[in-house]
Structure 1
Amino acid sequence: MPHDGGLLQAAVVFLFAAVITVPLAKRLQLGAVLGYLLAGVLIGPSVLRLVTDPESVARVSELGVVLLLFIIGLELSPRRLWVMRRSVFGVGLAQVLLTALAIGSVAWLVFSRPLNTAAVLGFGLALSSTAFGLQILAERKELTSPHGRLAFAILLFQDIAAIPLIALLPLLAGARHLDAGEVELRDILLAVGSIGAVIVGGRYLLRPVFRIVLKAGLKEVATATSLLVVIGTAWLMELAGMSMALGAFIAGLLLADSEYRHELEAQIEPFKGLLLGLFFMSVGMSADLSLLLNEPFAVLVLTVLLMLLKLPLLYLVGHLAGGLDRVHALRLGIILAAGGEFAFVVFKLAHEQGLVDTRLHGLLVLSITLSMAVTPLLVLGLFRLFKAKPSPVSVPDEYARIDSDAPRVVIAGMGRMGQIIARVLRAQRVPYVALDTAVEMIDYGRSLSLGHMPIFYGDPLRPEILRAAKVDKAEFLIIATDDPDTNLKTAELVKQLYPHIKVIARARNRQHVHRLLDLGAVPVRETFHSALEMSHQALLGLGLNEEQAAARIRRFQRHDEEVLAAQHKVYDDDAAVIQTAREARAELEHLFDADLIENKGVK
C-alpha cells in the first residue's frame, strides 16, 4: 500500500492512475485493459513506488474475476451450457492438452527442466486470461462472433481445469504422506459437498431470499444481497480448496433462469467493472521491471516463445476441432495466446512447493504480463490486416424457408417496434411476413407468448431474400431494425428493385430522416411520438386541461414537421440548418406565448 498506509490515499492513487491512463489508451485504440496494465506499472514498486505491496491489492482485485464469472454464468443457463458441451469439454480439453504437451516438451527437452517442473510449466502456460480475453472481446463487441463464442468455451474449460492442476501441485512436488489417501478423500468430499451446497442453495434458497429483499424496497439491501451471494459462494468454494471464480460461475448459472436475473446483473455490473480494472492494475504492479532490465533477452525469448507456441496450436484447434474458418481461427489464437491470471496462482504455489525457483518464477510472471500487454497491439494490427467474413448462422430449415402467399406488408426487423407493428397487423387480419437475422428473436416470435407469428430468418439486404418474401407483391415494406445504416441500405435496395412499393422506415435522428426522404421512403422517428406523449402527460400534471395540453402538443408537432421539411432543403449546409433551428425556436416560443394570452383572454 502507499507509504503512509492510508486507505484513502490508496484509493486516490488507483483512481487517478486509471482516470489518466485508461482514456489515453482508449484514445490510441489500444483498449482499456492495456491502460489498466500501464497504470499498474507506473504506480507499482518498479516505477513510482506509490504502491509497494501488490500482493495486498491482488487479493482484493481477484473479486473482479469472481464477479465477471458470476455475470457470465447469469448470461448462460444449464440448457445453453449443455448445448455448448462439445465446445467446452471437447475443444477446450483438446486445447489444454495439446498446448500443455507442446510447452512441457520444450521445457523438458530444450531447457532441460525436470519432468514434474516441465508438466507444471506446460499446464500453467496453457491457461489463458479469462478476464483479459473476454474484456477485449466485449470492447470489440465480438463476444457473439464465431471466435468469441469458442474463446468463451475454451476459457470456461480452462477455469475448470485449473482446479485439479492446483490440487495436483503437492503430488508433483513429491509431498507424499502416510495419510495422503485420507487427506485426498477428505478434500474430494469437501469439494463435492461445497458444490452440492451451492447447487441446492441456488436452486431452493436464493429465490425466496431475493423475493423477500426486493419486496422490502430497499435498493442498498438488494445490492448487499447480490454481493453476498457472489462473495459468499466464492468464499465457500475457497474453503473447499477450489476456484472462487468457478463457484461464482456455478451460482450465476443456477440463477440464469431466475426472474431476478436482470436485477442481479444490474446490481453487480458496476462493482465488476471497478474490480476488474483493479485486477489488471495489480497485474501491472506485480511486473518486476528490474528483471527486464537485467535479463531482457531471457524475458523477451520466453514471451515470444510462449505466444509462438500457443498461437498456432489455438489456430489448429479452432480451425480443425472448432470448425472456424481461417480468419476466425487466427483471431481466436491472437486473443488467447497470452498467459492467464490462473497461471500466476499456479506458479506462485509451484514456487512455494519448490517446483519453480525464484528466478524462473520472476521470469514467468513478467513474461505473462508482457504477453497480456502485447495482445491489444496484436489485435489492433492483425485484426485489421485479416478481416473476417460474415460467418453463416446455423438456422433451422423451417426458419430459413419462407412460406407465404402474397403478403400485403413485409416487416424487416422484429425487435420491439417490429413486434408492435406485427401485433397490430395481425389484429386487423392483414397478411404479413416478418424477417429477422436473430435466431433467438425468431424462436421467441414463434412461441406461444406471441402467437406463432410468421417470422423467418433472412437479411433484407439480400435480393434473393426479398424475392422469397414476395416483396414485389406487397403494398408496404416496413423497415424497423435498430441499425440506421441497415435501414438506409435496405430502403435504397428496395426502391431500386421495386420502385412501386411504399417504404416506411424507422429513423434514428433528423439527419437520418433527411437521407430516408432522399431515397423516397417515409421516415418515422423512433423516439419522437413517445416523447410527445411524455410531454403531454407532463403538461397535464403542470395544470393544463386535456384540451389545452393536446392543442399545445399538436401545435408543436405540426411546427416541428414544417421545420423538418424546410431543413430538408438545406440539410447539407450546417450554417443554414443552425439558422433555421434558431428561427424555428423563436417562432415556436412566440406561438406558445400567443396561446397563453389567448387562454387568459378567454378566462
Structure 2
Amino acid sequence: MPHADSLILTLVGGFVLAFVFGMLANRLKLSPLVGYLVAGIVVGPHTIGFVADTELAPQLAEVGVILLMFGVGLHFSLADLMKVRKVAIPGALVQISAATALGWAMGRWLMKLSDLEAVLMGFALSVASTVVLLRALEERKQVRGDVGRLAMGWLIVEDLVIVIALVVLPLLIIQPGETLSGGELAASIGWTLFKVAGFSAVMLVVGARVLPWVLVRIAHTKSRELFTLGVLAIALGIAWVAYALFHSFALGAFLAGLVLNSSPLGHNAAERSLPLRDAFAVLFFVSVGMLFDPSILVREPLAVLGVLAIVIVGKSLAAMAITTAFRRDRATTLTVAASLAQIGEFSFILAALSVSLGGMRQETHDLILAAALLSISLNPFVFALIDRMGGRPVLAPPEPPRVTDLI
C-alpha cells in the first residue's frame, strides 16, 4: 500500500465496514461493538482481501483510548458512587479479585502460563464494558433506577482500578536482562503512585480553577469550532503530559474529564467531544479486531470456552454472592450479575498494553478478544435468562385515579 494514501484507506475501510457490520449487529439485537470488532477482523492481516495499515491503525486507536478515558472522566459521578458505596466498592474489588484468581488458576495450571501472564489474563477478564452495560440498562429502562445506579457505581470502581493498573503495569513487567528485587519494585511502585497522587492533586486543585476559566474564555468567543477544538486540546494535551510523566495516556485523559465534569461548562464539553469520541472509539475497536486471529477459535476451543466460562459464569456467581451477602433482592442480584457477564474496551486496553510490554503472548491476547466477542454477543441471552429467573422487577399496578384527580 503506498504510504501517501494509507491514512485515507485505513479511515475509509475502518469507518465503512464498521458501519456495515455495526448495522448488521444492531439488526441482530447485538451490541454494535461486535460489528466494529468483526470489521477489524475483515480488514486485518489474518483474513483475505484488503488489509489496512497495521502500523497506522494502532496510533489512531490510541486517540480513541484517550477520548474514551476522557469520556469516563466526564461522566464520573462521585455522588452516584457514594449512594451505593457500601455495596459497589467492596463488591467490585472482591469480584475483580475472584475473576483474577480464576484466570490465574486456569492460565497457570491448564494453559501452563507464567504467573505474571496468568494474572494479567485473569485481570483483563475481570473488568466489564461500560458501553455494553449502558446499552443493556437503557433497553431495560433501568439506568436511573436503583439497579442501574448500583451497576454503574460498580463499574466506576472498576474504571478507577483500571486507571491505576495502567500506570503500575509497566513497572510490574520486567524486561529481559533486567533484575529488580522485591524492595526495589515496591519502592518504584510507591514512588510512581506518589507522583500520580501529586499530579492528580495538581489537576484537581489547580486544574479545577484553570481549565474551567479557559473554557469560559473560549465560550465568550461564541465559536463552536474553537470550543470543540479547546476541549480536544485539553484532553489530548493533558493526556500527553501524563504519558511523558507516567507512560499512561489514560490517566491524564481521565483526570482532564474529571476536572471538566465539575465545571459549569462540563456538560457542554461532553456534548462537543461526543462525535469525535464516538468516531475514534470505533477506530479503536476496529484496530482491536485487526489484531485478532480468528483461527484461535478452531485451534484452542477448550481454552476459549474456559475464558468465556470465567467471564459469564465465574463473574456472575461472584457478583451474586456479594449482592446476596449485602441482602439485595433477587431482581437486583440477578441484574447486576448479568450486567457484569461480559468484557470490553478496558480488557482490550489492558491486553494490548501487556502484549506491547512483553508480559503477554499474542495467543493469550487472542483468547481475551475471543471471550469479549462471545460474551458481548451472548449478553442479551444472559439477560433473557435472568428475566426468566426473576431478574426483572415486578412493577406495582398503577393506582386507580382519585375523584379529585378527575375534577
TM-score (norm 1): 0.58
Specify the alignment match of 2:307 in structure 1: 302
1:144 to 1:3, Cα distance in 2 relative to 1, 3 A: farther
CA distance in 1, matches of 2:116, 2:154: 25
Amino acid at match of 1:271: L
Who is 2:399 aligned against? 462
1:211 pairs with 2:225: no
After superposition, residues 452-491 of structure 1 pair within 5 angstroms as 461-463=398-400, 471-472=402-403, 474=404, 477=405
Q: 1:255 aligns with which of 251, 254, 260?
A: 260
* Structure 1 residues 274 and 242, CA gap change in structure 2 (3 angstroms): same
Pick from 183, 188, 191 the counterpart of residue 193 of structure 2. 188
Question: Cα offset for 1:358?
Answer: 4.4
| Structure 1 residues 354 and 204, CA gap change in structure 2 (3 angstroms) | closer
Choose from 264, 280, 286 the match for 1:281: 286
1:326 matched to 2:330: yes
Runs (5+) with no aligned partner, structure 1: 393-458, 478-500, 503-603
1:313 and 1:324 mapped to 2: Cα distance? 14
- What is the CA-CA distance between 1:215 and the residue it aligns to? 1.0
Does the 8 A contact of 2:127 with 2:343 survive in 1? yes
2:180 counterpart (177, 180, 190): 177
Q: Aligned-pair distance for 1:242?
A: 6.5
Please show how residues 176-575 of structure 1 align to structure 2 within 5 Å: 176-177=179-180, 183-184=188-189, 186-241=191-246, 244-321=249-326, 323-351=327-355, 355-379=359-383, 381-382=384-385, 385-386=388-389, 388-390=391-393, 461-463=398-400, 471-472=402-403, 474=404, 477=405, 501-502=406-407
Contact 1:235 1:244 in 2 (8 A): yes
Map of 1:60 onto structure 2: 60
Summarize the Cα distance change of 1:99–1:304 in structure 2 as closer, same or farther, 3 Å threshold.
Answer: closer
Distance 1:357 1:390, change over 3 A: closer
CA distance in 1, matches of 2:5, 2:297: 28
What code does the residue aligned with 1:99 have? A
**Counterparts of 2:239 and 2:394, CA distance in 1:** 37
- The aligned counterpart of 2:35 is 35
The alpha-carbon distance between structure 1 residues 329 and 50, as it changes in their structure 2 partners (threshold 3 A), is farther
How many Å separate the matches in 2 of 1:243 and 1:234?
8
Question: C-alpha distance in 1, partners of 2:266/2:258?
Answer: 10
Structure 2 residue runs of 5 or longer lacking an equivalent are none
CA distance in 2, matches of 1:67, 1:361: 23
For residues 3-14 of structure 1, the aligned pairs below 5 Å read 5-14=5-14
The higher radius of gyration belongs to: 1
User: Could you tell me how far 1:188 is from its partner in structure 2?
Assistant: 3.1
Give the secondary-structure state (helix, strand or coil) at the position aligned to 2:152: helix
1:44: which partner in 2? 44
Report the secondary structure of 1:316's partner residue: helix
Cα distance in 2 for partners of 1:349, 1:15 equals: 24
Contact 1:18 1:35 in 2 (8 A): yes
Distance 1:61 1:460 in 2: 48
In structure 1, what residue type is equivalent to 2:332?
Answer: H
- The answer for the alignment partner of 2:128 in structure 1 is 128
Say whether the 8 Å CA contact 1:147–1:332 is kept in structure 2: yes
Task: Tell me if structure 1 keeps the 8 A contact 2:31–2:376.
Answer: no
* 8 Å CA contact retained: 2:73, 2:257: yes
From the superposition, tell whether residues 239 and 157 of structure 1 become closer, same or farther in structure 2 (CA, over 3 Å): farther
Q: Which structure has the highest helix share of the two?
A: 2
Q: 2:15–2:283: 8 Å Cα contact kept in structure 1?
A: no
| Amino acid in the other structure paired with 2:202 | A
Identity over aligned pairs, percent: 28
Report the TM-score when normalising by structure 2.
0.83
Equivalent in the alignment of 1:105: 105
Change in Cα spacing, 1:358 to 1:41, as seen in structure 2 (3 Å) is closer
2:23 pairs with 1:23: yes
Residues in 1 aligned to 2:163 and 2:374: alpha-carbon distance in whole angstroms: 25
1:156 match: 156
Distance 1:391 1:265 in 2: 35
Residue 95 (structure 2) aligns with:
95
Residues 234 and 243 of structure 1 are in contact (CA less than 8 Å); yes or no, is this contact kept in structure 2?
Answer: yes
| CA offsets 1:344-378 (integer angstroms, 9 cap, x no match) | 34344444565544443433343334333433454
CA contact (8 A) 2:34 2:373 kept: no
Structure 1 distance, partners of 2:195, 2:322, is: 35
Distance change (3 Å), C-alpha of 1:98 and 1:67:
same
Distance 1:310 1:98 in 2: 8
What's the secondary structure of 1:45's corresponding residue? coil
Q: Aligned-pair distance for 1:95?
A: 1.5
Query: 1:209 Cα deviation (Å)?
Result: 1.0
Q: Deviations over 1:17-65 (max 9, x none)?
A: 1332222322232232222223222232233443344563244234445
Distance 2:72 2:343 in 1: 20
Q: Do the aligned partners of residues 242 and 297 (structure 1) sit closer, same or farther apart at CA in structure 2, a change above 3 Å counting?
A: same
Q: Contact 1:191 / 1:242 at 8 angstroms: preserved in 2?
A: no
The whole-number CA distance in structure 2 between the counterparts of 1:352 and 1:253 is: 28
Structure 2 counterpart SS, 1:255: helix
Aligned letter for 2:371?
S
> Counterpart of 1:561?
none
- Contact 1:314/1:337, CA 8 A, preserved across alignment: no
SS in 2 for 1:194: helix
Alpha-carbon deviations, 1:298-341, whole Å to 9, x = none? 333433344322222122223334x5433333332233222343
Q: CA deviation at 1:222?
A: 0.6
Give the distance between the partners of 1:19 and 1:161, measured in 2 at CA.
Answer: 32
RMSD of aligned Cα (Å) = 3.5
